[in-house]
Structure 1
């Protein structure tokens, strides 16, 4: 029965991830962003369009690869030191505990990444905020309409003819790049804080955590410098990513199952180890 439960767990995990992936794919393929208007004197959407240095594919590949390598190395080291969970039975065969722990951690990370992307992308299409390079991509021409009389242009046509770029130019808020980068960094920081116990150097773990955070910070700054997002888009993306990473790590991965107290600190040493005397009758 234990074997059956593990197999069913893997199947249900896979189905759950597919159910989360379908809305993401549907939004990308068939979603239409809200067509927001603009003010004639709005200079924040008149910046030139630049080539992005960090594409979605590159960011996803580096982020997932970073987490996979970090988790596998950490679990192997823990297993060698005798801190792992021991072997597991799967379909009548023994598998090392570090493989199962790696599967659980990477699976939870993937689940959280899907949730983070779903929140970010849904918000993008509902809000429809114009990117800083909207004018350069759209080349809007206002129509002779009473909707435009007050200076807020609601009825206009894009004359550039590049439908894909125009659609992307309406998806500024929030920054999905920043959200995923911060989600990856915060998840890694929490994971290493709980499971990366190195006796050789106290600062090594924290240097790795800071490096991950700095990488996420750079991704967000690059989106502003390359005119892909407003600074508030990046800030909202950071907030979404960090929040979902904390919630997923604490309530889905559940670090307490590793035998650590809720504060993730070593238990205090009792000041009086002697037993209390029994009360006299």
Structure 2
């Protein structure tokens, strides 16, 4: 600015809105995600199975902690990785601002709330992007858990932990001249011989929650890198970085299928869920990580376009000619 003073804007609603609206919504999402994941508030649908179905008869791969990509590795990465990337990007944007020709036409202002509280654009952008990411991460978990509860689709190792008694269930042994399952079991007590905790976990396969969380994290981070980072002199830096971010998510899906913890359909559904939620939040909520331009400025923005072209109106010509004629008649 010409006076050297910061561009200020007073607002008394930013703190109440953050405390009573956004924090409440985020808390409600976290509570719902916890209820779906760790409690029996929403019981899992008991889906039946065919006798001797080889689709669900893969060997039990062991607890989740023994996987090559355990939750203890996935959850910290999807939480800390994007947060560190966004923090680094916003600090770089604050201390090394882009040239005037490359920044958006509308710059965010420092908001003053009361007499002491000031919220700089860098702080508000950081809180906004991290808050939306946290909201999306728990929302992805809710969608994945809700899909698992509603469908109750078994995992590939379901029969290995179910231990069904085929004789008591009336399942005839498989015959060589009649391959494949021939009886559908819907008995709720078919898995009475198995561990109840393992059986309950084996009924939650579709969609794959780990794949959904990884897809959301890498999609959100890749879109942030693409839309915010500015690299001069090379056109392959950002695409290479984004592809490097996508590779771990793909490997997580491959490992889940290779260890017989999920089907390919479960992993693909998880990828689509996480990608769709990240794309929606980036496009519609945070406006592609850019400042919003008011509608009036977007509609009447003539800066840099030269003089506005004038359109002659024939009615104006007629009115001007009649007025000149009237003046001449009055003068004579």
- TM-score category, normalised to shorter length: 0.7 to 0.9
Gaps of 5+ in 1: 261-271
Structure with more of its chain in helix, by fraction: 1
The secondary structure found in structure 2 opposite 1:89 is strand
Partner Cα separation in structure 1 for residue 221 and residue 245 of structure 2: 8
Per-residue deviation, residues 26-69 of structure 1 (Å, max 9, x unmatched): 22311321111111132111111223222334312111111111
Would you say 1:52 and 2:84 are equivalent positions?
no
Give the alignment's TM-score, normalised by structure 2.
0.73
Per-residue deviation, residues 220-271 of structure 1 (Å, max 9, x unmatched): 11110111100000011111111111111111111274369xxxxxxxxxxx
- Residue 216 of structure 1, CA deviation: 1.1
The secondary structure found in structure 1 opposite 2:46 is coil
Partner Cα separation in structure 1 for residue 112 and residue 230 of structure 2: 27
Look up the match of 1:216: 249
Higher alpha-carbon deviation: 79-88 or 224-233: 79-88
Partner Cα separation in structure 1 for residue 109 and residue 308 of structure 2: 34
Would you say 1:71 and 2:81 are equivalent positions?
no
Tell me if the contact between 1:88 and 1:95 (Cα under 8 Å) persists in the aligned partners.
yes
User: Residues 152 and 246 from structure 1, CA distance in 2 versus in 1: closer, same or farther, beyond 3 angstroms?
Assistant: same
Partner Cα separation in structure 1 for residue 17 and residue 252 of structure 2: 35
- Residue 87 of structure 1, CA deviation: 4.0
User: Residues 104 and 228 from structure 1, CA distance in 2 versus in 1: closer, same or farther, beyond 3 angstroms?
Assistant: same
Look up the match of 2:203: 170
Partner Cα separation in structure 1 for residue 127 and residue 113 of structure 2: 13
Look up the match of 1:26: 35
CA-based RMSD: 2.9
Partner Cα separation in structure 1 for residue 308 and residue 285 of structure 2: 38
Per-residue deviation, residues 145-175 of structure 1 (Å, max 9, x unmatched): 68x7961111243255422111100001110
Alignment coverage as a number of residue pairs? 272
Look up the match of 1:141: 165
Tell me if the contact between 1:143 and 1:157 (Cα under 8 Å) persists in the aligned partners.
no
User: Residues 90 and 201 from structure 1, CA distance in 2 versus in 1: closer, same or farther, beyond 3 angstroms?
Assistant: farther
